[in-house]
Amino acid sequence: MPIKQALVLGFAGLISAGLYLSVLAGPAFLLLQYLTQLPLLCVGLAFGLSSLIVTTLVSVVFTAFADPALTVIFVLGYAGPALLIVRYSFLRRILATGHEEWYPVGRILAGLTVYALFVFIVALIWFSGQKGGLAGLIERSLLEVLGVLGDNAPNVSASVLREYLFFVPGLLGVSWLIMIAVNGALAQGLMSGLERIHRPKLALIDVSLPHWLACLLVPSMVMVVVGSGNIAFIGGVMTLVLLAPFLFQGLGVVHQWSAKARMPGLLLTVLYLVMVLFQWPVLLAVGLGLADQWADFRGLRSQS
């Protein structure tokens, strides 16, 4: 490995660890932590998996030296997804026609979703020794927060709070997937500008999820509706996480449709502003993604 490249990999590892540990300086630096994966993905997309492993090791060593307790979260929550994305982004095969077929972005997104569920299962096992498990820990934490708020806290009964506990880890998983997608898009844009990426771009308009991902929604929803206690809690988290990738598929449909408009950029800008301000259009995008799973509005499956 050339010395210049080795220095770049080491520097990127230090930056990633620094961004991750920035939250220790206070909540104001939380947004910097959201960019933790950006240096890792830049290295992976530009130099490949082996270089990413080197950069990740530098980040892990620096993180362990600064705060060993946070190392596991860094490995599972940040380094693991980056390694998965880079590993599959460079998979390709040569078709009988002589054309290259690259691993599709929809399957990468599906893999990240399964990975998020795996991390959730690890958390369930990790906190199983706590009273009430992970759900009990979340409930006590929320009650503590409500107690601190005092009269300013919303009037929520303990039974209602317990029934909707799954929203906390579920929405955390959704925001985690969105964070990965944003960092991946930023890394791809940066490395494309430097002409370092040697595969076709991963585009939102090409997101087409495998059918088995939608099929997993059926048992998870049944667990929420029929189950109770931990069963409903697990099913609720699974449902929210499994719905997240269909947001991207729905947005892919919107991007293709908006491309036919006179000013597609303005239309998409307004759409995303409305989604940020009102949130309910997010549910419409998820529903559109689920409908596209079978209706195939973009004709992607007929092309494959």
| CA distance linking residue 174 with residue 159, whole number of Å | 25
Name the residue among 61, 57, 59, 52 with its Cα closest to residue 84: 52
For 70-120, the pLDDT digits (tens) are 899 999 999 999 999 999 999 988 877 778 888 999 999 999 999 999 999
pLDDT at residue 274 is higher than 60: yes
pLDDT over threshold 70, residue 271: yes
CA gap 203, 205 in Å, rounded: 5
Give residue-wise pLDDT tens across range 124-140.
999 988 888 898 889 88
Q: What percent of the chain has pLDDT over 70?
A: 95
User: Predicted confidence band at 1 (pLDDT cuts at 50, 70, 90)?
Assistant: low
pLDDT bracket for residue 216 (50, 70, 90): very high
Nearest alpha carbon to residue 196 among 4, 45, 80: 45
Best CA proximity match to 58, nearest among 71, 69, 48, 77: 71
- Quote the pTM value: 0.90
Q: Compute how many other C-beta atoms are within 10 angstroms of the C-beta atom of residue 87.
A: 16
